[in-house]
Amino acid sequence: MDLQIEGKVALVTGGSRGLGKQCAISLAKEGVNVAICGRSKESLDETVEELNAFEGTAIGIQTDISISEALNKLPSIVNSKLGPIDILVNNVGGSLSREDIQKTSIEDFKATFDLNLFGSFALMKAVIPHMSEQKWGRIINIASIWGRENGGNISYMSAKAALIGATKNTAISLAKDGILVNSIAPGSIEHPGGSWERFQNENPQDVVENFIETNLPMGKFGWPEPVGDVVAFLSSERASLITGACIVVDGGQSHSMI
């Protein structure tokens, strides 16, 4: 299937490893010119080398988007090296607190929103003018099934729910401008250096097996490639009627029917 996005320019935040890396790979396979950002120069260089095996051009930008000054400079850096951003994948996320409300400080709660929501919000605002001018653009925000239903800690769950809400509202407001805005809600996806790999390494085998039996209908953790391929599809002309959606990629893990 020709996704008709060859030559487009994409920015993938947190694109040097895990889900972000796979999103970048899936886009690069379609001939997209991809900029990835991350904090580790070593992992950025390794991923850029992989991406450059495909037809498009890839660059890595060492930065920390939790720092406002660095975040604000990011779009202009991409523009100067590859051109204006046509496709934005907001993948950076995580939680600074893994506790319930009684043990979570307001500072950590706010910081988790900074990481998952406000950085994505700022980058969306930065890329919209170019997308509106050309009447074409794609924005994909990586959320979580735990932004759709109960799960995880209060900070992460709340921030991802807010990201899904912001995605829907933005999609409606930009629909007539040719800009499609969607979110993806992955389930428990295992990848090197990720939280689910740590979960398996840090817990007894019976705890891991019980989690899988109780929560994962496929009998195993998810893997990054399906998430990346959904991102590539949502970035394409083939997805031209999909906007404001939150697409679940979780092997049946979540319970919500919505």
Active-site amino acid positions: 156
Q: What is the DSSP letter of 21?
A: H
Which whole-number Å values give the CA distances from 23 to 20, 140, 141, 209, 254, in the listed order?
5, 10, 11, 29, 22
Distance CA 12, CA 15 (A): 5
Q: What is the DSSP letter of 140?
A: E
CB atoms within 10 A of CB 150: 9
- Rounded CA-CA distance 174/230 in Å is 21
Q: If DSSP codes are grouped into helix, strand and coil, which group holds residue 71?
A: helix
In 3D space, the residue among 6, 26, 2 whose CA is nearest the CA of residue 142 turns out to be: 26
**H-type alpha helices, 37-180:** 41-51, 68-81, 106-113, 119-134, 154-174
Which is nearest to 119 in space by CA: 110, 106, 107, 132? 110
Q: How far apart are CA 223 and CA 119, in angstroms?
A: 25
